[in-house]
Structure 1
């Protein structure tokens, strides 16, 4: 069993980041923390448009496609909830604890200043484990 330190975010795959950003700002008082558009020469995980909002005490990430999808680490993903993200102290240890009980969609991978892994819940929902690297 893994004991996350905190529930950090939900990530959504949306067809129009601008439209979704306006919706969350207008209807649930979302505070835009960042909004970045992909440049024409961006490739891999950088070739995405995304926005991060603070809604209540959690974050909502809006992506036109997930960075791990753009990087070719997973197949094309449908619109809607991409995953829920939980912070853990050690992604490798958490993955080892879970490996016999769950199906990993993406094994522990260093992604910028994070180590992340994704596994599936009983209905196929994706759950992200996040470790902040120093």
Structure 2
């Protein structure tokens, strides 16, 4: 089995997305890359890396298939994290966390409408 290297998410405004992931989700900037067609920001969340991608000429890229459904973040206290999201006026997709097996989950959206999830093991 191969280890996941990173998850790539196409965004409209990479600066806005970097601010969201680092400020709201407490991720850390890891590295950047830029050329005449693309700008990449690698954001670290625990042991995982999220690659934020902004295309300069074709903003959405030309892909219709293979999009990422959501990115899930493990949290210790989901209620505290939800309160933090609410402080930043982040849209929540449920009124309250849902219990799925031995996990409490909450879905919310990032600045480009990407679906994100908090997961707390109980």
Superposed pair shares fold, TM > 0.5: no
TM class by shorter-chain length? 0.3 to 0.5
Structure with greater contact order relative to length (CA < 8 Å, sep ≥ 6):
1
TM-score normalized with structure 2 length: 0.45
